[in-house]
Amino acid sequence: MNHIEKMKNDLIELFLNEDTWISFGEGLIKIIAIIIASGLIIRIGTFAISNLFKVRTHSALRISERREATLLKLLVNILTYVVYFIAFLMILESVGIKVGALLAGAGIVGLAVGFGAQSLVKDIITGFFIIFEDQFSVGDFVRIDQFEGIVDEIGLRTTKLQSWTGEIHILPNGSIVQVTNFSLHNSKAVVDISISYESDINRVESILQEFLEKLPEKYEDMVETPQLMGVQNLGPSEVVIRVVAETLPMKHLPIARMLRKEIKNILDKNGIEIPYPRLVMYSRQNEEAMKQKGTMAE
């Protein structure tokens, strides 16, 4: 009981001691100052990195915009990690924890933890090679395994994909094995047009060819004049003609939709019929009635 009473008295004396609260106040002010300074350093560093890339856009050694966006986010991430790590060590120092001894012990602990952190190391190394080899960059539309979307961020450990419906897929870099990048080269819009067998194919092709030559001036996403490939297929009730247009990367879908609309309008304007399913009704009773009428007429 005496021991407990002594501890209780020591605690009361500690809390009533003016020096204790002064030290606590100084430590709290230091921690707040460290946090504020860290936030300012990150903001200033981010601003400086952004301006550095803006200056490079006017230099002769300019890299592609894809690489610029990727490196910009990566450098900002590295800056944030480094500043927060240093701030964490300074906070430990401010509360009286010896960082030197802590780091010395971390070497021994790190050796034990290292065997369990192999996946983390793999993620970082894979992320480095993704950026170094320019496999894909921020803003690219890619397919990684079963996920498709626009690359939102490439970090040291993970890659973030945003699908067209808005979901964010976070993938560890070490799990990325196969990548299909749709943004490196131009895309192709393929449009099939069906016309009836009664239509004059030569006239249809002449009208379409004249019409297609005017489209690149109207749509800037087209790289060159769309090609009229000719008759692609002979269907049960239609002749299929194919048109192929080279577009800027990932612009093939909107250009294909536009082509279908424009071609439909030009065919209607020239009186060219687009076939539709037809159903012929056959009645055996009507046939027998017609035969009877023929017999009575004779």
Beta-carbon contacts of 161 under 8 Å, excluding residues fewer than 6 positions away, are: 142, 144, 147, 148, 149, 150, 151, 152, 168, 169, 171
Return the CATH class of domain 2-97.
Answer: mainly alpha
**Mean pLDDT across 29-45:** 85
160-198 pLDDT tens trace = 898 888 889 998 888 888 888 888 788 888 999 888 888
Confidence bin at 26 (pLDDT 50/70/90): confident
pLDDT at 151 over 80: yes
Taking alpha carbons only, the member of 79, 158, 103, 101 closest to residue 126 is 158
Residues forming CATH 2.30.30.60 domain(s) in the chain? 127-181
Whole-model pTM above 0.85?
no
Looking at the chain, the domain(s) classified CATH 3.30.70.100 span 187-269
Q: What is the pLDDT of residues 38-91, one digit of tens each?
A: 888 888 888 887 777 666 554 444 455 666 666 777 777 778 878 888 888 887
pLDDT of residue 289: 56
Q: How many helices (H) and strands (E) does the chain have?
A: 9, 8
Residue ranges of the chain assigned to CATH 1.10.287.1260:
2-97
In this prediction, residue 5 has a pLDDT band, given cuts at 50, 70 and 90, of low
pLDDT of residue 252: 87
Fold of the domain spanning 127-181: SH3 type barrels. (2.30.30)
| Contact between residue 195 and residue 203 where contact means Cβ atoms under 8 Å apart | no
Choice between 245 and 277, residue whose per-residue pLDDT is larger = 245
Residue 238 has what pLDDT? 84
Residues in the chain: 298
Give the Cα separation of 237 and 133 in Å (integer): 51
Q: Which pLDDT belongs to residue 61?
A: 42
Residue 242: its pLDDT value, please?
92
pLDDT score recorded for residue 11: 59
**What are phi and psi for residue 272, nearest 5 degrees?**
-95, 125
* Topology (CATH level 3) of domain 187-269: Alpha-Beta Plaits (3.30.70)
Q: pLDDT by residue (tens digit) across 254-271?
A: 889 999 998 889 888 888
Q: Dump pLDDT digits (tens) for 106-149.
A: 555 555 455 556 777 787 788 777 877 778 888 888 888 888 88
pLDDT at position 28 over 70? yes
How do residues 190-232 score in pLDDT, each as one tens digit? 999 888 888 888 898 889 888 888 888 888 888 888 888 888 8
Predicted confidence at residue 120, as pLDDT, reads 72
Q: Cα 60 to the chain's mean position, in Å?
A: 29
Highest mean pLDDT among 12-16, 19-23, 160-164, 235-239 belongs to 160-164
Mean pLDDT value across the chain? 77
